[in-house]
Structure 1
Amino acid sequence: MPLENNNDKGVTGAAKFVTSTVGNVAGGVGRTVGNVTGAAGRGLGDTITSATGSTGKPVGDAIGNVGSGIQDGANSVAKGVENAGQWKS
């Protein structure tokens, strides 16, 4: 019969449950905000490019790239928060 692992029982188990839940919620909210901000930035960039043609393309592309960068950064932070909540290193 295998020995039972007692690492996730009692106070430690309760703490892991709470931090995991909080980490997952905070990570999900952060990811959502990043995705919305990224999509809005790309949409604004596309609108500027469409409205101004080749003249405004550099500005439109820059705004779109900023939106994508914000989204990528928010997703990275969200993953880190979720990992911390699950006590992963």
Structure 2
Amino acid sequence: MNNNKNNGVRQGITGVTSTVGNLTGGLLDTVGSTVGTLGRGLGGTINSTTGTRVAGDSLAGLTNGVEGGVRTVARGVEDAGKAPGK
């Protein structure tokens, strides 16, 4: 009986941490994607208006790196809330 109580509590905690992890991970992923998209857009605009690709491509590369790093963190946060073995 005690084992069943522990399993129920563990499942409840896992459900809460999974929900919080998924929410946080989703928000981080959205922020990272927004930063990446903005950087690519601004980079393209800079390239078009200046006639040089150095500044625009550098900005796009930087924001792509931020996007990838944030995406990795977001996945880690989401995975942290999963039950062991799932």
What is the TM-score with the length of structure 1 in the denominator?
Answer: 0.84
User: Shift of residue 70 of structure 1?
Assistant: 0.9
List structure 1 runs of 4+ shifted beyond 6 angstroms: none
Structure 1 segment 12-51 matched on structure 2, within 5 A? 12-51=10-49
Is 1:85 the counterpart of 2:81? The answer is yes
Quote the residue 2:9 is aligned against: 11
- Could you say what the CA RMSD is over the residues aligned between the two structures, in angstroms? 1.7
Matched to 1:40, the amino acid is L
Quote the residue 1:3 is aligned against: none
Percent of paired sites with the same residue: 46
Which 5+ residue runs of structure 2 have no aligned equivalent? none
Quote the residue 1:61 is aligned against: 57
Alpha-carbon distance in structure 2 between the residues aligned to 1:51 and 1:9:
62
Alpha-carbon distance in structure 1 between the residues aligned to 2:55 and 2:84:
40
Is 1:71 the counterpart of 2:67? The answer is yes
Alpha-carbon distance in structure 2 between the residues aligned to 1:45 and 1:27:
27
Paired positions, count: 81
- SS of structure 2 residue aligned to 1:9: helix
Matched to 1:73, the amino acid is G
Q: Quick check: which one's helix share is greater?
A: 2
Alpha-carbon distance in structure 2 between the residues aligned to 1:67 and 1:32:
13
Alpha-carbon distance in structure 2 between the residues aligned to 1:88 and 1:78:
18
Matched to 2:71, the amino acid is N
